[in-house]
Structure 1
């Protein structure tokens, strides 16, 4: 059974009932040489919903 990924970014087209439905998740560092907490990372999978 696949893991569920919680996502509260409702503006993303992959968000469905506060869960990420993307086929793959890519997370990058947020302009830093190394990350030591979640504030230093960002989701590269985000795609805005078409309104």
Structure 2
């Protein structure tokens, strides 16, 4: 928190960070490797589409 000068900046960063983290994070230890890779690829494709728009 010491890097953020304002609480609003911290809140904005954390809300965006949590969205991205939740979108791209998959529990690797729970899923099989093939399923993990397919989920990760699908998330990255969707993320690239969002960025391009």
Sort the TM-score into its range (normalised by shorter chain): under 0.3
Task: Name which structure has the greater RCO, CA cutoff 8 Å, separation 6+.
Answer: 1
- Give the TM-score normalised by structure 1: 0.20
- Higher Cα radius of gyration: 2
The structure where strand makes up a greater share of residues is 1
The structure where helix makes up a greater share of residues is 2
